[in-house]
Amino acid sequence: MRLAILADIHGNLPALEAVLADLKQQSPDAIYFAGDQINRCPWSNEVMDLLATLGWPAIQGNHELVVGAINTPANRPPFTNRARFIDLWWTQEHLHPHHLETIRTLPAELQLSFADGPPIRLLHGVPGDPFLGILAETTDEMIHKVLADVAESVIVCAHTHRPMERRVAAWQIFNGGSVGSSYDGDPRAHYLLLDTVNEQWQPTFCRVDYDRSLLPSAFRASGMLAALGPLGQLHLRTVLDGEPWSSDFGFWMRTQPLALQQDLALAVTFYLEHHGPGRWAFVTE
């Protein structure tokens, strides 16, 4: 049995198309999507159009959760702050209504059972919280806490944009990384294959190159770069070099004064003066 799990496309259509071409060579028996189809790259509608034709079982990521809530009574701080989260608001305003309805109805997780491999819990982050990811440096104590109610022995998660394999107590934990916006310094599209070997899941961490020269012009032509300004430049930089500029900036902004949160141009300037490879604002995210 061979499974493919994709996650964190973030509206990056060329990356998704490259992975689809690679999947034809890999011939998985089933394909699942672990959240965050949309936002940060300009092809959110096109990505969702394509995924709709493929019909893969999918779960909701934190970006679907937030974008689906914007302009509804379900929206809550801090995401009511349009100036601070202009990318999420821009995506919500440009996403087709039927795609908004789709992301609002996605399940938070999936429980998968197979005849020749252990059952799998498919998550975006951790149970009940798609904003919290499991990293290589996350303590065993924290993992015991967040997975305490998970009966499945295999966890496949996403959100961190970093490939990972860990074993903690009875759990085997996999993260295939990000299709569209890697954070491990390798800007290729990442995804995960799982094969059953002796009734266990054996991972293969796949990395697929694609033409990233298409990205700058698409950011400009879509109007995303003009609307998002310096934040859009950070998202583009993240995709082009595979470093976690986007989320590291978001982590740093959590502790910044409101005045700075309302002035993204100034905030990005301050951030770049102090942070980057080897001096990221976050340790775990």
pLDDT, average across residues 12-29: 98
What tens digit of pLDDT does each residue of 47-82 get? 999 999 999 999 999 999 999 999 999 999 999 999
If pLDDT is split at 50, 70 and 90, which confidence band does 283 have? low
What tens digit of pLDDT does each residue of 186-236 get? 999 999 999 999 999 999 999 999 999 999 999 999 999 999 999 999 999
Q: Is the pLDDT of residue 121 over 50?
A: yes
Q: Is the pLDDT of residue 9 over 80?
A: yes
Alpha helices in 11-113 (DSSP H): 13-26, 44-54, 62-69, 86-94, 97-105
CA max distance for the chain: 57
Q: Is the pLDDT of residue 285 over 50?
A: no
Q: Where are the domains of the chain?
A: 2-106+185-208
Q: Dihedral of the CA atoms 140, 129, 92, 176 (nearest 10)?
A: 40
User: Domain 2-106+185-208 adopts which CATH fold?
Assistant: Purple Acid Phosphatase; chain A, domain 2 (3.60.21)
Mean pLDDT value across the chain: 96
What tens digit of pLDDT does each residue of 156-200 get? 999 999 999 999 999 999 999 999 999 999 999 999 999 999 999
Edge-to-edge strand order for the sheet containing 2-6?
30-33, 2-6, 189-197, 200-208
How many degrees, rounded to 5, is the angle at CA 106 between CA 100 and CA 111?
A: 165
pLDDT of residue 284: 41
pLDDT of residue 261: 86
Q: What span, in angstroms and rounded, lies between the C-alpha atoms of 92 and 64?
A: 10
Name the nearest CA neighbour of 3 among 176, 189, 198.
Answer: 176
pLDDT, average across residues 259-279: 94
If pLDDT is split at 50, 70 and 90, which confidence band does 46 have? very high
Q: What span, in angstroms and rounded, lies between the C-alpha atoms of 81 and 264?
A: 12
Name the nearest CA neighbour of 67 among 11, 147, 2, 144.
Answer: 11
Name the nearest CA neighbour of 185 among 240, 259, 108.
Answer: 240
